[in-house]
């Protein structure tokens, strides 16, 4: 499994932590602000110190990741389709390998009406990853008719555990709102857990507090998109995130770095 270990080393750094910036939103919601041209955005993220970027196969053919990790997203669905919570397989692990990927990612909405199909697809992708020594990032979100809150600690812990049990090397999921409750998510998941950013937050401080608290709870990093690439300076926001994730900086230190009032 030397290949897998090498690839993982380009995602998870020697301190066991990672700063991933996903930019797969063009399929689900369209070319929103910040990702009109992923080539330009990626340059800023590289300069800011991102450990890896995540994108679909089309952009992966043309974007220069310049030595940072590349994660190819192999599932997709749109906000305008008849099943907005369903995710379909749109890329093979073999294609991701041809593109030079260091990992692939797959999205599952646990609790959705097509949960069974998505879990079956995740299992099949996990088999391919094992065969080719490719790390798997599972985006595991509790979403569906019976899910009262996507941030409910029990629901988040269950979704995260499913991802790990089906073969994920890294699980991306929602923050549960408190250090203590997120500790339980991390404790019950046998692989590294990274926190999602979700919709663009109302304030920089709110975002940074969430990141800092998730790290204090034992999280191993972040996979945050809109709250980074839609910032007025993606480069600076990436660098500020890096200070918290890899350097253990406080929220106040990160805000001062950004030029924000703590």
Q: Active site includes 205?
A: no
The two three-digit tokens of residue 18, written as one number: 């990672």
82-85 — which CB contacts under 8 Å span 24+ positions? 83/113, 83/114, 85/109, 85/112, 85/113, 85/114, 85/143, 85/144
**Of the residues 17, 24, 51, 213, which is catalytic?**
24
As a whole number of angstroms, the distance between CA 20 and CA 160 comes to 18
As a whole number of angstroms, the distance between CA 110 and CA 132 comes to 26
- Helix, strand or coil, per DSSP, at residue 139: strand
- Helix, strand or coil, per DSSP, at residue 210: helix
Give 142's strand partners.
Answer: 110
Q: Active site includes 141?
A: yes
**Of the residues 17, 87, 102, 141, which is catalytic?**
141
* Nearest alpha-carbon partner for 4 in 68, 92, 97: 97
**Of the residues 17, 87, 172, 243, which is catalytic?**
172
Active site residues: 24, 141, 172
């Amino acid at each position: 499994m030397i290949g897998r270990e090498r690839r993982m080393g380009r995602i998870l750094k020697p301190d066991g932590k990672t700063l991933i910036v996903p930019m797969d939103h063009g399929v689900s919601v369209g070319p929103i602000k910040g990702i009109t041209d992923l080539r330009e955005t990626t340059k800023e993220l590289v300069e800011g110190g991102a450990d890896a970027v995540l994108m679909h196969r089309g952009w992966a053919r043309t974007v220069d990741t310049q030595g940072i990790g590349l994660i190819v997203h192999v599932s997709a669905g749109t906000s305008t389709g008849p099943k907005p919570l369903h995710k379909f397989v749109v890329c093979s692990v073999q294609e991701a390998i041809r593109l030079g990927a260091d990992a692939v990612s797959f999205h599952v909405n646990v609790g959705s009406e097509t949960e069974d199909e998505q879990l079956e697809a995740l299992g099949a992708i996990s088999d391919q990853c094992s065969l080719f020594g490719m790390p798997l990032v599972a985006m595991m979100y509790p979403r569906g008719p019976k899910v009262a809150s996507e941030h409910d600690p029990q629901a988040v812990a269950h979704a995260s555990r499913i991802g790990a049990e089906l073969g994920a090397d890294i699980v991306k999921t929602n923050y549960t709102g408190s250090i203590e409750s997120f500790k339980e998510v991390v404790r019950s998941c046998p692989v590294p857990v990274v926190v999602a950013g979700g919709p663009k937050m109302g304030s920089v401080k709110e975002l940074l507090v969430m990141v800092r608290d998730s790290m204090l709870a034992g999280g191993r990093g972040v996979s945050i998109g809109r709250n980074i690439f839609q910032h007025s300076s993606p480069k600076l926001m990436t660098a500020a995130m890096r200070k918290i994730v890899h350097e253990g900086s406080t929220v106040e230190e990160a805000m001062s770095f950004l030029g924000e009032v703590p």
